[in-house]
A = this chain, B = another copy of it.
Amino acid sequence: MDIIRPRTLSGFMELLPAKQIRFERMTQILRDTYGSYGFAPLDTPAIEDAQILLAKGGGETEKQIYRFQKGDSDLALRFDLTVPLAKYVALHCNELAFPFRRFQISKVYRGERAQRGRFREFYQADIDIIGDGKLDILNEAEIPAIIYKVFRGFGLSRFQIRVNNRKILNGFYAMLGLSERSGDIMRTVDKLDKIGPDKVRAILLEEGLTGEQADQILTFIAIRGTNAQVIEALEGYTGRNEIFDLGLEELKAVASNLSAFGVPEENFAIDLTIARGLDYYTGTVYETTLLDHPEIGSVCSGGRYDDLAGYYTEKKLPGVGISIGLTRLFYVLDEQGLLNPALPTAPADALVLPMGGEPGPAITLAESLRSCGLRVQLYGEQKKFKQKMAYANKLGVPFAVLLGEDEIAAGKCSVKNMVTGEQITVTPDEAAAHIKATLAAIDGPVILEN
């Protein structure tokens, strides 16, 4: 038979078990945390009608999307979880209770040029709250509070959720008589971090702004300080534009409620340079940066929008949502060596090794350890002792549980700690308790910051 060389496509993450187990731990934290805030799990198809996915159109999306025919159908793979959500809510709006809160942790597909750290298939972990006609500002604080909980759950503390409000920006540009051009200006201002204020000013002048307008913009986006200081500076602009004033009220509510949710000030910051590229955000916007890795940009972004599903329904569906690029985040954390090395990464807590004879007693022992809540692999191969231990080592299992004739006769088993080498002979119940206590002591977060 001809052999085809096995390979995995570039741009597609495929992990070995030890890393996959850590990745799963992160998705479990996401599911648990999102679930604890009353979000419903959602699982839309990966394939949709191409016409529906591309209702909005747009250059990059059209180019990157995986689109194909099957029979007469024009199909495509989802490139995000927001468009499928819009379709879902529009399709099922009579059956859903609003506000509708859903999370979805699923793979999306973008046929980008493959490069290091860029993926063509990657997980997004999204939460959104959708209102029917209206949606209270409280939700705009709850969303980043949940993200704070998730990141802390991962073990991260050196991160910052940066918050702004589009109404403040829109109101400010209206004050300058630049409403029509605010989109272009924000795109320019967005480059501030990369190219610096002088170059931003030069571009603004090229775009036809007066020197005074450019200076006012640069002064505005240079507002820095604690959240209280930034809010105080913004108060100086009030009374000149209603949208601005409304935006500031919203921002103050978000900042105050974030504190009530228990998010410390060091983990969220008002940042007037945040605008988000997408046109449809209308209120609070979020970006999240890892403080020690600003170069990777935002790892979790989103905001408030007024019209989720305008392409699919006349119904006004405002919402607020945020998305974690989970595959990329995991890739970066791993690259930076931040995966906690102390965590066991074997698929089992214990490997039961029968030392010969009929398998019955070993099966019974393994089942008994499982009933105590342990993950237990039963080793059934007829190999020499040395080979059995080599397997346990390669697997990285923290405990081997040996069962020979003597142990069986005594109703006991020998528990060997594969790290320390320590071995004790105890009853199955004692073994389970010992293993659980030892594992609990070394348990920790999946991410360990330096």
Contact between B135 and A6 (Cβ–Cβ < 8 Å)? no
A176 within 8 A of B: no
Query: Within 8 Å CB of A21, what residues of B?
Result: 40-41
A15 within 8 A of B: yes
Query: Within 8 Å CB of A385, what residues of B?
Result: none
A117 within 8 A of B: no
* A16 to B42 alpha-carbon distance, docked (Å): 8
A107 within 8 A of B: yes
Copies in the complex: 2
A363 interface neighbour in B1, B51, B261, B377, Cβ under 8 Å: B261
Contact between A70 and B111 (Cβ–Cβ < 8 Å)? yes
* A418 to B4 alpha-carbon distance, docked (Å): 60
Contact between B363 and A38 (Cβ–Cβ < 8 Å)? no
Contact with B along A91-127 (1 / 0, CB 8 A): 1100111110110000101010000000011000000
* A313 to B37 alpha-carbon distance, docked (Å): 48
> Closest residue of chain B to A392, judged by CB?
B97
One of A136-144, A198-206, A266-274, A288-296 contacting the partner: A136-144
A175 within 8 A of B: no
A36 interface neighbour in B44, B69, B376, Cβ under 8 Å: B376
Give the top 8 A-B pairs by smallest Cβ distance, nearest first. Answer: A38-B377, A138-B380, A38-B348, A68-B68, A40-B347, A17-B40, A12-B45, A97-B394
> Closest residue of chain B to A106, judged by CB?
B107
Q: A42-B20, A136-B382 are in contact. Are A8 and B87 (CB under 8 A)?
A: yes
Contact between B45 and A367 (Cβ–Cβ < 8 Å)? no
Query: Within 8 Å CB of A37, what residues of B?
Result: 370, 375-378
Q: A38-B377, A139-B380, A262-B367 are in contact. Are A68 and B66 (CB under 8 A)?
A: yes
A450 within 8 A of B: no
